[in-house]
Amino acid sequence: MSGIQDNSTRMSYIRDMRTDAHTPPTRRLGNTLRAERQRLGLTQADAARRAGIARQKLIQIEQGKPGVAMAAYAAAMHALGLEPAVRPAQVQPAGYPQLRRLLWNQPGIDTLDERDALALYERYWDLVDVEQMDDDERALLDRLVQLYGKGVLHV
């Protein structure tokens, strides 16, 4: 074999470069705000001026830095004509074969509240093929059980 290595499967060592499903919420929010600012044709300086914050603070917001005060995120949202909204955490069943299987009789569902996903797993556990679960789905189920089931899967 030649001395050339295939780097296509290597992970980036720069954490901010990750764009997978495990992207932190502040990063997803920052990406959304950046996209909206660009859609409106505003520069970072213009958006920061509208929000009453420094341009550097807006850069941190768009990068999704978790140390930025929520008031700064809210000011940036307001400057872009967006309102903050609180909703339950969502899961997309398409990425989880066993969860998708449990929705066989409910076509068209693209997202579920996480609590509802756990309830589906628990209610129809006899239809779940645990051996066919991939690592991502096992991690999802474990997180849901820890977060909403207080460590207990009620089956």
Give the 3-state secondary structure of residue 113. Answer: strand
Q: Which residues make beta-bridge pairs with 113? A: 90
What pLDDT is stored for residue 6 in this prediction?
39
Q: How far apart are CA 103 and CA 92, in angstroms?
A: 12
Ranges of the chain whose pLDDT falls below 50: 1-20
* 100 close to 59: Cβ distance less than 8 angstroms: no
Tokens 């207080």 label which residue?
Answer: 150
* pTM confidence score: 0.59
Q: How far apart are CA 107 and CA 85, in angstroms?
A: 27
Q: In terms of residues, how long is the chain?
A: 155
* CA proximity to 100, closest of 72, 59, 129: 129
Dump pLDDT digits (tens) for 12-52. 333 343 344 567 889 999 999 999 999 999 999 999 999 99
What pLDDT is stored for residue 22 in this prediction?
64
Taken in order of first residue, the domains within the chain and their CATH numbers are 15-79 (1.10.260.40), 90-148 (no CATH)
What is the Cα 155 distance to its own chain's centre? 27
